[in-house]
Structure 1
Amino acid sequence: MSERVMPGCTNGLIILGAADALWVDLTAGSAVPTASGAFTCSPARAGAGYVLLGGGVVSTVKAGGGRWGVVEADVRRTAAELNAVGVDRQDLVRIGPFRGVPRQEHDEDARLRWRRRITRELQEPGGPERTARRDDGRPYHLAGIDWRQILVEQTPDGTRRTWWLPRSVVRLLDAAEHAETQWVQAAQRRQAGAAVSGPPRPRLDPDADGRSATTGPQGRAAALRPYDKELEGQLYSVLSRKPGTAGRVAGWACAVCRTAPATVLDHCHEHGYVRAPVCQSCNTQERPDHLYSNDVRVAGRYTRLFDTDAVAWLRHWHRCPGCRARTTLPLPHLAAWTAHTACRSLRPTHRAPGGRKPCGVLRVSWTGSQQAPRSCLLTVAVDFCPAGEHRVLAQVPYREAAERFRIWLAETAPAVAAAAGPDRVDDLPAQVRPVIVDTSSGGQALF
């Protein structure tokens, strides 16, 4: 009998130490770096009845000799799911630091809350340097993922550090956090029912379809309800203060990607209306890598926003009654669209290995405000030209940019354009809000 198989068990249980080794072995070639100790080192707590692994939950069982074990097939399946995840290390999501200090909660050692864990560790004296050296002897996994290997630090203003992780890893950790919440709530319901109906069933009893109770991607998606305009037309300033709002948000699937659990209410910062509940990854998808009060660097992610996934994002932005009624976008969005799409033919190219490539990085700034369209002017320029040749490419008045967008919208997303128009909403604010930098998140929360 193999030493890793628990004696007396016939359902494929293996001890936790063997599960650690199997996890590392199976994910050795994964694009997502993994770590040893996924089942035995903090924050894993097999004694709670489950362990987070990748983007889901694996149930643990106490067997003979007082040892804990897991089903080997569950470890193999979760590893295969993780190996299928791609990682674009240029597509990053900011995870901190933000305003305020993470609160210490009484059950934090038992729950993932991965953003708080990372922030608290990196804010300790010598945290980032210690993370880079890894000489503190601490475990460095979250749900079996070695986050330290892919943590990116940036200093956009030259003084304050910010921390970033690849978007696909953020999605995994968000999914793991949601799966944990669902598992704990289900366990609490079972305990409440046991007080009335008798002793609880074994943890590994199969579900109706014969599978174990491990939460996988399909199970997570099935547990979430799709968003169906329940919050349409409501003001974020009012709704965000209502008790129970956070709990409602957590029950929806993200209104953009429709696969991950929603974590926040996205809203229009010009008109103040709620758009929809979205996941943390999609909430940062539209943000540029550089944004001041009137200056946007048009990063590569706009290819997704205005090209590959344009219809989904246009529909999402027009969930705001103000943007929908005016058939336009918030000013930073419209500026980015003007540079990326309307002025695409003006961007110069340079010779490069494999052919000609677009020059430098596009940047668009504006003078004036969308509150005074006649005086608002968008200026599209090229930064970081290798030869220092290019500066301003075009200057586009706000009204012209808005009209170009209306024409493009009708061609790109006819259904979205058909739902827009000034006669659709008659209760818009008398005056739209100005664009103001949100200093709590490095000036990137305008969108």
Structure 2
Amino acid sequence: MYVERDIRDAAGVFAEMEVNLDDVVDVQLPPFRDILERDPEEWHRPNWRRQVASWMLDRARNQLLEQGRHYDEWGSWQDIGANGLPGELTWEEFVASSSSHRHLQNIAGTRPLQLLTWSGETWLLPRAYADLLDRWERREEEVVALARLCSSCGDQGPYWGDWRPPTTSGYVTRCPPCSGAAFQPYTGHLRGVQYEMLRRRATRADEYLCRLCKASQASAWDHCHAHGYVRGPLTELTREFLQVRGPFR
């Protein structure tokens, strides 16, 4: 979604920032929320405070699992203790775990845990850094909002990108009605044809609608890897689903 040049420019600006480590703000980490209470769309929105809190809660839960303790013995493991961390988690244990997962625990290309400090009552971060993460959230929201708009009619699609199939010119957002008007449905006319034959003929899957959802532009030919027969055109999301569920008939 981003141009690499813009990312490098932003990194240069960040590197030159004069961060006053004495000017700090309370980051106000959100409380624990059970998975059943989550709004699926809201949960995927960029929220760096929720992400930091999630890292803490995940480590506290994993600590109990590693100890082999039954769930009935966990008690109120999500409650925040005097050290600002949930359950029986200590800062030393949290830092040790974070060090082994540094490639995962970054936000906007930065590592907030290196600057996070517990005051005895609240978690603190340098004000300039917290402002930077807030601006990242807003920019992410703007980019996703634009990517959700159907390129043909302007309707807004789902947050998680179901309307954005890959094409030869990049990802394009199209709603199901516009996809249905732009691409032809697959009629099963290639049943029994070898996938390699389609490749040699350059028969494109993205000229068709996905055989299963019949609403989005397909991106690849699903085929039997043992016998090589074509099954039909699918979107990438559908292909990923079938890798878990198994092929359709």
Q: TM-score, normalised by structure 2?
A: 0.43
- Which structure has more relative contact order (CA 8 Å, sep 6+)? It is 2
Larger Rg: 1
More strand by share: 1
